[in-house]
């Protein structure tokens, strides 16, 4: 999906209580605005402009440390002026898709983003919205009910909202001076545009009041899920004087036969990682029919699986490999194997386990026709 994005982070957030502008406060362990920027980049935004207040440059740089693909624009006095400033800074071509998102809705993810982009194909704008579930009352300033309002057909508008850049720019140009819209779809509606709704999400709540932050902390925790994958591999012994196991070369009276370096330990672990994210198996990514993988070090396969997880915003939690063979003896090499895997996956060594067993002289491993490996890995992924 090809799109760019505006993240509106210029508000002062006075209703959110003390503690500085809310978009830079910590939610779920990171600055609120960082959640939205990471989500836009993960979903494939080709560039993101973050509209911030003048003077927030250093705060933004610290909040977005390590991220690329973004730049800052200075916000205006009101939200609509900030969006207009972001749109100008993006310099998007008229047909380009632009998403506008409030930094105060940190728990946006790829599904929300791709849904509004997809919905734009049949409309001039698209936004996520939730049906109003509570009964609506109109009341006086002193809390006296005047009427019950029919909620039929009423929806709560959220962001991200998607538009073609040209449509949004023209609508803003036509917006009457002196009026302040509360979202961007309203601007396009006023200009006669058709707006589509996609499924809203309670997690897209706008953090406005102090109590919203406690709710967001809970939701941020629920926004991740643990996944587990397992892998198995076996290779036959053949001529040679060493075997590769878990990234370590071990002198042995025989070698292992395989298209690559036949490292069954790393192959099983690669399959475990691929399994955890539903990405098929090692043969799908590195076909044995492809000559470029002949004799390849299996570290390439493992690093590829780790990158796929990182690209999806995931993180490997731990990995556990069991090698099954009579010989070579694994124990003298176990720590080197753990260290090598930890290095390849960017993990602390205590998150990597390598174990070994024989099969008491039974079966193909017992007869030393070959050896086998099993692996289990867990990963922490966006839910």
For the window 184-223, what string marks contact with Mg ion as x by the rule CB under 5 A? ----------------------------------------
- Of 13-21, 229-237, 304-312, 350-358, the segment contacting Mg ion by CB under 5 A is 229-237
Cβ nearer to Mg ion, comparing 198 with 270: 270
Q: Whole-number minimum distance, CB 373 to Mg ion, in Å?
A: 9
Cβ nearer to Mg ion, comparing 99 with 302: 302
Number of residues that bind Mg ion (CB under 5 A): 2
Q: Whole-number minimum distance, CB 260 to Mg ion, in Å?
A: 7
- Of 203-211, 230-238, 249-257, 273-281, the segment contacting Mg ion by CB under 5 A is 230-238
The verdict on 112 binding Mg ion (CB under 5 A) reads no
Q: Whole-number minimum distance, CB 319 to Mg ion, in Å?
A: 17
HEC string for the chain = CCCEEEEEECCCCHHHCCCCCHHHCEECCEEHHHHHHHHHHHCCCCCEEEEECCCCHHHHHHHCCCCCCEEEEECCCCHHHHHHHHHHHHCCCCCCEEEEEECCCCCCCHHHHHHHHHHHHHCCEEEEEEECCCCEEEECCCCCEEEEECCCCCEEECCCEEEEHHHHHHHHHHCCCCCCCCCHHHHHHHCCCCEEEEECCHHHCCCCCHHHHHHHHHHHHHCEEEEEEEEEEEEEEECCCEEEECCEEEECCCEEECCCCCCHHHHHHHHHHHHHCCCCCHHHHCCCCCHHHCCCCCHHHHHHHHHHHHHCCCEEEEEEEEEECCCCCCHHHHHHHHHHHHHHHCCCHHHEEEEEECCCCCHHHHCCCEEEEEEEEEEEEEC
Cβ nearer to Mg ion, comparing 227 with 236: 236
Cβ nearer to Mg ion, comparing 109 with 233: 233
The verdict on 267 binding Mg ion (CB under 5 A) reads yes
- Of 18-26, 46-54, 217-225, 228-236, the segment contacting Mg ion by CB under 5 A is 228-236
Cβ nearer to Mg ion, comparing 11 with 258: 258
User: Which of 109, 233, 271, 279 forms a contact with Mg ion (CB under 5 A)?
Assistant: 233
The verdict on 34 binding Mg ion (CB under 5 A) reads no
Residues lying near Mg ion in the complex (CB under 5 A): 233, 267
């Amino acid at each position: 999906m090809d799109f760019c994005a505006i993240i509106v982070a210029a508000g002062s957030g006075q209703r959110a209580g003390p503690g500085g502008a809310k978009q830079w406060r910590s939610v779920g362990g990171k600055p609120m605005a960082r959640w939205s920027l990471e989500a836009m980049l993960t979903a494939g935004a080709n560039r993101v402009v973050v509209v911030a207040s003048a003077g927030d440059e250093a705060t933004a740089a610290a909040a977005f440390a390590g991220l690329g693909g973004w730049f800052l624009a200075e916000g205006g006095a009101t939200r609509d002026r900030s969006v207009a400033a972001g749109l100008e800074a993006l310099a998007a071509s008229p047909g380009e898709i632009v998403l506008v998102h409030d930094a105060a809705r940190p728990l946006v993810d790829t599904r929300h983003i791709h849904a509004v982009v997809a919905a734009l194909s049949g409309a001039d704008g698209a936004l996520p919205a939730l049906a109003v579930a509570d009964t609506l009352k109109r009341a006086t300033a002193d809390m006296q009910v005047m009427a019950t309002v029919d909620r039929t057909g009423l929806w709560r508008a959220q962001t991200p909202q998607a538009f073609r850049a040209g449509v949004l720019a023209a609508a803003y140009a036509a917006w009457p001076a002196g009026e302040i819209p509360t979202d961007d779809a309203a601007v396009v509606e006023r200009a006669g545009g058709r707006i589509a709704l996609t499924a809203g999400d309670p997690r897209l709540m706008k953090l406005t009041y102090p109590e919203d932050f406690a709710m967001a902390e809970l939701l941020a925790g629920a926004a991740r899920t643990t996944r587990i994958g397992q892998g198995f591999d076996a290779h036959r012994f053949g001529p040679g004087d060493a075997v590769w196991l878990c990234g370590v070369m071990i002198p042995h009276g025989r070698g292992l036969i395989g298209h690559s370096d036949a490292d069954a330990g790393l192959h099983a672990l690669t399959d475990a990682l691929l399994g955890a994210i539903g990405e098929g198996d090692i043969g799908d990514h590195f076909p044995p029919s492809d000559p470029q993988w002949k004799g390849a070090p299996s570290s390439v396969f493992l690093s590829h699986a780790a990158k796929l997880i990182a690209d999806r915003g995931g993180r490997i939690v731990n990995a556990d490999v069991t090698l099954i063979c009579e010989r070579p003896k694994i124990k003298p090499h176990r720590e080197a194997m753990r260290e090598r895997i930890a290095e390849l996956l960017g993990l602390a060594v205590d998150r990597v386990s390598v174990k070994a067993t024989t099969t008491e002289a039974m079966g193909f491993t017992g007869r030393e026709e070959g050896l086998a490996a099993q692996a289990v890995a867990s990963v922490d992924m966006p839910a």
